[in-house]
Amino acid sequence: MNLIKFASLFLLCALAAHAQLAVTVSPVKITGQRVIVPLALTNNLPQSVEAARVMCVVLNEQGKMVGQTAKWVIGGFQGHSLSSRAGTTYNFVITSPQPLMTTNLSAKIVVNRVVLERDQIANPNQIVNVTSSTK
């Protein structure tokens, strides 16, 4: 009986590992005093994502913060949800108050709020997978 429970739990965990909101962060682009951080979001969850709030921090090569912002990248004031098995893109635009002295910048992305259909609040630490793209 314990073997059956273990096998069932293992299969459930394997299925849950694929059910996620995937966020891919592309390399930072610099235009004048603006830093653009492109995101690609893919909803691999069985239900739609009604809203997602993301914080973006831009760091220089020493790890010092150059700029930051937080936005609703899905839903929020935009009002658009992300259906199951659908994808979308979002560009964070951060304007630096001073001229950028380096072009070697990186971005750190943190998804801090996810709302699923029927106003179900999800734990971002469990369902969000953030990866970096090299292209």
Q: pLDDT means per 10 residues in the chain (135 residues)? A: 43 52 95 93 96 95 92 83 95 88 90 94 96 84
DSSP β-bridge partners for residue 124:
none
For residues 54 and 68, the answer to whether their CB atoms sit within 8 Å is: no
For residues 73 and 49, the answer to whether their CB atoms sit within 8 Å is: no
Where do we find the tokens 């979002």? 90
pLDDT for position 8: 40
- Distance between CA atoms of residues 100 and 34, nearest Å: 9
pLDDT for position 18: 56
pLDDT for position 9: 40
Q: List the CATH code of the domain at 20-132.
A: 2.60.40
